[in-house]
A and B are shown apart, each in its own frame.
Chain A
Amino acid sequence: MNSKRDLAVAISFFVFGASVLYSLAHMQISPGVNEVYLTHYIIPNYVCAVIFDWRAYDTLGECLVLVVAVMVSWIVFGKSLYDNTYLKELFHAPESDDYITLQGWGEYTPIIKFLAFPMSVLMVALGIITVLGGHITPGGGFQGGALIAAAFILSVIAFGSNSPLWFDHKFLEKLEALGALGYLLLGVAGMFIGGYYLFNFTEINGFTIFPAPKEIITAGIIPYLNIAVGLKVLAGLSTAAFLLSCEKVIIEKISKSEEKLE
């Protein structure tokens, strides 16, 4: 039976792969709408112009994908776990030799301890630069936010809950909501000022939205969208990482609840 199944899988993959390659062999590239993007100047970073101006609504959708993913992670790992006995059994399995016990937490080499915190600080700084410079250099909100989240994760892995770089999960929740709401409401502001959702307005009553040299005065709301996305990504990824490491917290709570029962 295994050989027949393997044969079926192999044939399926071959047919699918051959079909894809056959399609690719007949590729006839058409530049299409990209000519519009490349010939109409908005900001020096053309990718950022497409992501946060021409197609800013797609970026809103991508932000919300991350928001929903974090919410679902909360449902699975964060809140529901305390109500399910079968998961208690799973998490309360006997500890094996390769299991990192609570007592063993923090047993990293001195090199990691020495370097982790300064590396975290540098990564946070780099992340901030990436977010703020998104409209004039490669990168932007997603990349910058991910960098800051990576700094947080590095520090937590090295130092645990004693990490000098620490975000409380309620704070992260508010940060994520702030980022998402900021993006949504900037779009609504565009409706009232320019008539269209996510309209990129450059000034209100004569005041420039984003102070900049005259070559990039057309940035408008793009830097603020980058900041909103950066906050949201940093909060989302940090929360997800926190949830994935909360197994020890769960075990502690289960142990405490069992002590109460006894």
Chain B
Amino acid sequence: MNYLPMMIVFPLIMAIIMNLLHGKEKAVKYITFITAAILIILPFISQYGYYYFGGHGVVNGWVSGIAYLYNPAKQAIIVTLSLIASLVLITGMGEKLKNNMFVTLSLMGFASIAAIVLADDIFNLYVFFEIVSIVQAGLVFLSGTEEAYKAGLRYMIMGNVAAALMLLGIAFLLASTGTLNITDMKHYLLVDNPMIYGGLLLLIVGLAYGAGLPPFHNVKADLYARSKGFISAMLQTYSKFVLVGLMIIILKLFNGLDYFASAHAVLIALGVLAMVFGVVMALLQSDYKKLLAYHAISQGGYVATGLALGTPLGIVAGIFHAINHVIYKSALFLGAYIVSCKRGSNLHKLGGLLPLMPSVAFMVLCAKLAISGIPPFNGFQSKWMLAQAAMQVNMPEIAIIMIIVSIGTFVSMMKAFYLIYLKPVDEETLKEYQNKEVPKLAVFSLFVLTALCIIIGLYPDIVTNYLWDYAKELGVNYYLK
């Protein structure tokens, strides 16, 4: 028996059960820890290949039901996703408020992202895209602040427009090709029909919204910034893998076709703009979580650019960077969560935390160096691959932009590190710090993520070996003249 659907169904079942357990704190904690452990096991006991729901496979040459595709590349993505989800669930158990609703929404979000990554059916992808949009708004609402409500509401309003346009695009593709299955659909895209091209552009709108690319980057950054730190770690993981999932589908359908060239340019432009806008906005921030939020946007631009290049190396680099990024960005957001438990997130009111929690400071410093792309951390490996991919297709200007954005990232990260940990403070502030506790579960999660940054940085083949086969299948080599 293939346990592939249990990756989605098991967290959904636990989410429904959790929703009934409000008020029973100990039961919630106990079951959450068990669920977090099982989430990590599920990707390893599923079989590769196509999975047809309801047993409805190929009939008269058409895939008649809903199909999933599981392969090593998707396994790497889902293992990373389940690891982050487990660590965030564990961290969340240290909180007091609304544990069961947090667990429910997190599990719903996890299942939806896994479904988006696995989907070989474009409408099923849309359905879970809807769920994850609502879940993200719900998770930011859990902060309970006025700014959080505003951020979530803006996100939902924008989501109405973007998701409606995406659905229109799906309708165009369905009308033109007669099927919703992506493997079948690919056979009917050779004709240069304006309706198919329109469907592609509308899909890109949904992609930009789900991933936080321009013009949705401000709304998405606000969403990250207004959540609790560990919830932000989960939210940015969701966005990154929505980007990967949707981009894989667009490449699978359209990569290599003649009329894809201009849409291809649009995708690359979106990635580059996200890189630049994100880092420029980050340099201006005085709120630590806002700063981290805009860097999440910027790094998302790296992923989009790598995948948009469409070559096997670009696709491997893009997916690898997505995996690396969710690891060290989650570490950074957990670090921000620990800091906010001390004294909020205004950079100009913080300072002098190094003596109080030197181990946390060290781990956060490692994560900051990782996001800056400095060896021996994982961020260096994937950014190096991204630059190589850009050079390979004769776009050195993109490689240069990537390096400049890395410098900007480093500058704002080191500034934040100084203001939080190194800046001298007065005695009263130090005494105030002493009275606040450090959430131990968050430190544990931070340690695991930091260790992963170093391990993947030293041995990148652990991840990239899983990605090459699928990238060669999707990618098309070319060289601009």
Contacts and interface: CB of A to CB of B under 8 A. Distances in A.
Interface string B169-185: 00010011111110010
Nearest to A181: B16
Contact of B124 (A39, A58, A188): A58
Interface in B233-292: none
Contact of A36 (B51, B59, B108, B177): B59
B440 interface: no
B45 to A, nearest CB: 13
B65 interface: yes
Contact of A195 (B1, B20, B130, B184): B1
Contacts, number: 172
Given A191-B1, A196-B52, A200-B54, A30 B144 contact: no
Interface stretch (B187-195, B222-230, B460-468): B187-195
Which residue of A40, A84, A191, A197 has the most chain B CB atoms within 10 A of its CB atom?
A: A197
Interface stretch (A64-72, A127-135, A146-154, A205-213): A64-72
A33 B179 contact: yes
Contacts of B104: 71
A44 interface: no
Interface string A47-71: 0000001111110011011011101
A76 interface: yes
A197 B64 contact: no
A32 interface: yes
Contact of B188 (A30, A64, A198): A30
Which residue of A53, A54, A173, A195 has the most chain B CB atoms within 10 A of its CB atom?
A: A54
B128 A177 contact: no
A68 B5 contact: no
Which residue of A39, A57, A75 has the most chain B CB atoms within 10 A of its CB atom?
A: A57
A192 B5 CA distance: 12
Contacts of A80: 141, 144
Interface stretch (B27-35, B132-140, B345-353, B363-371): B132-140
B134 A57 contact: no
A180 interface: yes
Contact of B54 (A23, A71, A173, A196): A196
Contacts of B19: 71, 173, 177
Contact of A187 (B5, B20, B184): B5
Main secondary structure of the interface of A (DSSP, over half): helix
B225 to A, nearest CB: 19
A86 B330 CA distance: 31
Interface string A156-174: 0000000000000000011
Contacts of A181: 13, 16-17
Which residue of B177, B178, B199 has the most chain A CB atoms within 10 A of its CB atom?
A: B178
Given A80-B141, A197-B54, A58 B178 contact: no
A25 B172 CA distance: 12
Contact of B55 (A36, A71, A199): A199
B427 interface: no
Given A67-B16, A71-B105, A191-B5, A79 B54 contact: no
A169 B59 CA distance: 45
Which residue of B1, B54, B199 has the most chain A CB atoms within 10 A of its CB atom?
A: B54
Main secondary structure of the interface of B (DSSP, over half): helix
B181 A27 contact: no
Interface string B37-62: 00000000000000111111001101
A177 B54 contact: no
Given A75-B138, A79-B98, A195-B55, A28 B130 contact: no
Nearest to B188: A30
Contacts of B59: 36, 40
Contact of A29 (B2, B51, B175, B197): B175
A33 B178 contact: yes
A53 B55 CA distance: 10
B451 interface: no
A184 B16 contact: yes
Interface in B132-173: 134-135, 137-138, 141-142, 144, 146, 149, 168, 172
A67 B108 CA distance: 10
Interface string B1-35: 11001000100110011011000000000000000
B9 A197 contact: yes
Q: 3 tightest A-B contacts by CB?
A: A32-B178, A30-B178, A61-B127
Interface of B: 1-2, 5, 9, 12-13, 16-17, 19-20, 51-56, 59-60, 62-66, 98, 101, 104-105, 108, 115, 121, 123-124, 127-128, 130-131, 134-135, 137-138, 141-142, 144, 146, 149, 168, 172, 175-181, 184, 188, 191, 193-195, 197-199
Given A32-B177, A37-B64, 11 more contacts: A53-B54, A54-B65, A58-B124, A58-B127, A61-B124, A61-B127, A84-B144, A84-B146, A190-B54, A196-B51, A197-B54
